[in-house]
Structure 1
Amino acid sequence: MSIPSNSLLLYAPVPIYPGKGGYLLEDQACNGLRLWAENFDRVIVMHPLEHGAAPPSWIPVQSSGIDLSRVEMVALPTTYRPDQFLIHYWSVRKQIAQLIDRAHYLSFSIGGLFGDWGSVAAIEAHRKGRRFAVWTDRVESEVVRHQAQTAQSAKARLRASLYHRPMAMLERAIIRRATVGLFHGAETHAAYAPYAKAAEIVHDIHLREQDRIPADELNRKLHRVLDGPLNICYLGRADAMKGTDDWIEVMAGLKSAGIDFHATWLGEGERLQTMKAAVGRLGLGKQITLPGFVRDRTAILKALREAHLFVFCHKTPESPRNLIEALVSGTPIIGYDSPFPQDLISANGGGLLSPKDDVKALVSSLVGLAGDRKRLSNLIGQAALDGSAFNDVEVFRHRSEVIRTYL
């Protein structure tokens, strides 16, 4: 059987849901599929299938702008329990093997243990002697190791303590067998490149060129920041790995230092109620707003553009897209040091980084900026320059070119 020369098989762990007249898929994942189809003639993508009510950001694929004449979606069972995974393993592996035979280029997202069909696809591609790429945006085993210490339930902590070591072994085994590892950002690249035959830093963002802060708005921001309260923002899940406790502690430190500020955390998660309780306990109700999940993309971009500072306390090795979103919005990134933010601001210095887990040092950086508004204004301009290289069309074109080069 001849394989179309410009065809691509993907595994993406973002789940799909059944809907009226077709599948529902997360809006940014839909944008990704649309962009893959702009770079390949034929795209086959495998997704785990979930049932029940889809989350708010899942939209009908039929009306998402994807060219469905060139994109084929394949639903695989969701099997994150060991018994479910073992029941479906051989039938799904056979299905994946058939799909591998239909595509010229192969790229699989990996991360997890049971139910990680991307790793199964990689194993099958290696068995067939096919060249393939693996992609990941965080060190999943390290995230799970962190959960073994921070998960709210004893059951979750036990599961994480049992899973993270074999998960790390599987990650490394798959990466060693891949033709190339595509690692989103410097953080994952630094962790995984030693195990790869070839490794490339790539990015996975869904910011359009029109999402960039306009020049006139940036100019107004540069002047507006020279006085008034600091406007601090964070966008992301309210999870322990995002450093929710540290973030609240930083805000408490600013209040203790007499800094006039307002901070907003946009996002929901298992730690949101704990954060709200801490805000009440520490008397930060006038300084901190915790609205939870915000569906309106326009409102999110508005919040990022209006913020003077994007303050983050990330605990685990990952390459979060929110730092890029902040820079594209002309908002300096101020937080814990690691390879990913170092790389993002290496050209123009659009941020300040403190030692990881050092709340006092981070508070000190923020207090310094609050007292030196000219420096803060300059930092905003530098952040916009550091964000100038990022948009979804370019990053997906780059990933596509890397795949063609190696495979």
Structure 2
Amino acid sequence: MNAPLRAGTLTGAQPVQDDTLLIYAPVPLHRDAQGGLMVEAQAVNGLRLWAANFARVIVMMPLSPDPAPVGWVPVADTGSKLDRVRFEALPMAYRPDQFLRQLPATRRRIAALIAEARWLSFAIGGLFGDWGAVAGFTAKAMDRPFAVWTDRVESEVVRRSAHVGPWKERLRARLTHRPMARLERAVIRRASLGLFHGKETYDAYAPFASGPAEIVHDIHIAPDDHLAPQRLAMKAGAAAEGPLRIVYAGRADPMKGPLDWIEVLERLAAMDVDFHARWLGDGSERPEMLARVAKAGLQSRVEMPGFVNDRTEILEELRRAHVFQFCHLTPESPRCLIEALASGCPIAGYTSAYPADLIAAHGGGVLVPLGDTAALARELAALSADRARLSRLILKASADGAPFTDEHVFQHRSEVIRRHLG
């Protein structure tokens, strides 16, 4: 467990490298049947982009004992993409007893890795087993400047979950959300730089930063993934007729508001709006969603194919859809909204700082108060009735999504790290 796991050719402990980046990412590693490492496919792209901006990258990740889920790929199959990336597998220790048992040795190991790198950036989120927070405290004790990164207000997400789900999960949420918030703020205060994905997390965490804080993004949309101008024009023109095509792509978890999403469709049906909707994704709420669809008699108008592994297929769904309907209930910065805009798919959902900031320049969407399913249904019905407005909104959505590419956002984050941690 203590030996480094490498994708490239780096060997042994090394002195501080002039351009080595050390990061912690909470996305778990897994092993295949032969013992080889497996990493999430999207994480491969992120690590590739980090390596494009730094000479070497060391990435710490927790190692899960479970079989790899769909979407994980063997590190050995990544070829030259990760030849300057070294994996360091940390123990997965989310129970208090596991964490306390693993803490001394893991902290020493993290300190040794910090000594190898010039640039430090740690993702945080959670309580027990949050090695990003441990890395932050360790770096501060070593008098090393570091960046802290997060893409959602984890403690607030947990606080809001204290009212849903099984009683054990509710109790755990009630007991942990306050110490989780204190831990988040303690690490952020000690960081030399705060990197907060989207305005939602920036507004929540920037007041606690003692150093610079910046809004950054963590997306995986290549320039070629954006809807081409010719196809965008065809989409805007074709929106003049046919049923209103609605889509969502993401987990069917309570924080995503899936039952609100279904309620909006029920309201549209009651208003005699001609629509066709698809939810791409699996999750704990999917059975109840399917039951609601059946009860409302919407099986021919609402499709829920479950988890879709093919990213190209997901992007094609977004490119075909007229509207990306979302009902997110917790403060986070979901990447799916940016992917929708880049696909010329206007966003329509509950307002918060993040989506409002995304469409501030061109207005490529419509937003309603949190939880107001009636208002959201009225907005969608109005778009269905006014196809000229819908066509204009498609063009505006594409304009709002234009600045977002994976190469640009990773280069920006790398430049910010160099500027503030140099």
TM-score normalised per structure 1: 0.98
Cα deviations by residue, 1:14-51 (Å, 9 ceiling, x for unpaired): 00011347311111101000110000001100000012
Say if 1:334 and 1:353, in contact at 8 Å, map to a contact too: yes
Counterpart residue number, 1:173:
186
Q: C-alpha separation between the residues in 2 aligned to 1:54 and 1:35?
A: 23
- Kindly state the Cα deviation for residue 219 of structure 1 after the two structures are TM-superposed: 1.3
Counterpart residue number, 1:32:
46
Q: C-alpha separation between the residues in 1 aligned to 2:134 and 2:107?
A: 7
Q: Partner amino acid for 1:191?
A: A
Match of 2:168 among 144, 150, 155: 155
Cα deviations by residue, 1:217-267 (Å, 9 ceiling, x for unpaired): 111111111011000000111001001111010000100000000110101
Say if 1:30 and 1:66, in contact at 8 Å, map to a contact too: no
Task: Indicate the RMSD between aligned Cα atoms, in angstroms.
Answer: 1.1
- Kindly state the Cα deviation for residue 215 of structure 1 after the two structures are TM-superposed: 1.6
Cα deviations by residue, 1:363-385 (Å, 9 ceiling, x for unpaired): 11111111100000000000000
Q: Secondary structure at the match of 1:341?
A: helix
Say if 2:44 and 2:82, in contact at 8 Å, map to a contact too: no
2:8 matches 1:15: no
Say if 1:183 and 1:189, in contact at 8 Å, map to a contact too: yes
- Kindly state the Cα deviation for residue 64 of structure 1 after the two structures are TM-superposed: 2.2
- Kindly state the Cα deviation for residue 201 of structure 1 after the two structures are TM-superposed: 0.4
2:237 matches 1:223: yes
Q: C-alpha separation between the residues in 1 aligned to 2:272 and 2:166?
A: 37
- Kindly state the Cα deviation for residue 62 of structure 1 after the two structures are TM-superposed: 2.1
Q: Mark the CA change 1:7 to 1:111 in structure 2 (over 3 Å): closer, same or farther.
A: same
Q: C-alpha separation between the residues in 2 aligned to 1:307 and 1:87?
A: 50
Say if 1:34 and 1:65, in contact at 8 Å, map to a contact too: no
Counterpart residue number, 1:51:
65
Q: Percent identity?
A: 56
Q: Structure 2: any 5+ residue segments left out of the alignment?
A: 1-13
2:74 matches 1:60: yes
Say if 2:48 and 2:82, in contact at 8 Å, map to a contact too: no
Q: C-alpha separation between the residues in 2 aligned to 1:89 and 1:63?
A: 32
- Kindly state the Cα deviation for residue 2 of structure 1 after the two structures are TM-superposed: 4.5
- Kindly state the Cα deviation for residue 159 of structure 1 after the two structures are TM-superposed: 0.7
Q: C-alpha separation between the residues in 2 aligned to 1:59 and 1:111?
A: 24
- Kindly state the Cα deviation for residue 69 of structure 1 after the two structures are TM-superposed: 3.8
Q: Mark the CA change 1:128 to 1:359 in structure 2 (over 3 Å): closer, same or farther.
A: same
Q: Any residues of structure 2 matched to 1:70-219 within 5 Å, and which?
A: 70-150=84-164, 152-197=165-210, 198-219=212-233
Q: Any residues of structure 2 matched to 1:212-291 within 5 Å, and which?
A: 212-291=226-305
Q: Mark the CA change 1:297 to 1:67 in structure 2 (over 3 Å): closer, same or farther.
A: closer
Say if 1:106 and 1:132, in contact at 8 Å, map to a contact too: yes
Q: Secondary structure at the match of 2:333?
A: coil
Count residues with an aligned counterpart. 406
Counterpart residue number, 2:10:
none
Q: C-alpha separation between the residues in 1 aligned to 2:413 and 2:46?
A: 11
Once the two structures are overlaid, the 10-residue window that deviates more, 278-287 or 133-142, is 278-287
Q: Mark the CA change 1:173 to 1:247 in structure 2 (over 3 Å): closer, same or farther.
A: same
Cα deviations by residue, 1:271-292 (Å, 9 ceiling, x for unpaired): 1111111111222212111111
2:336 matches 1:316: no
Q: Mark the CA change 1:297 to 1:50 in structure 2 (over 3 Å): closer, same or farther.
A: same
Cα deviations by residue, 1:139-193 (Å, 9 ceiling, x for unpaired): 000111111112x211111111111110001001110110011000111001101
Cα deviations by residue, 1:329-362 (Å, 9 ceiling, x for unpaired): 0000000100111111111110011011111111
Q: Partner amino acid for 1:346?
A: A
Q: C-alpha separation between the residues in 2 aligned to 1:61 and 1:382?
A: 39
2:401 matches 1:381: no
Say if 1:33 and 1:66, in contact at 8 Å, map to a contact too: no
Q: Mark the CA change 1:118 to 1:306 in structure 2 (over 3 Å): closer, same or farther.
A: same
Q: C-alpha separation between the residues in 2 aligned to 1:329 and 1:69?
A: 32
- Kindly state the Cα deviation for residue 202 of structure 1 after the two structures are TM-superposed: 0.4
Q: Structure 1: any 5+ residue segments left out of the alignment?
A: none
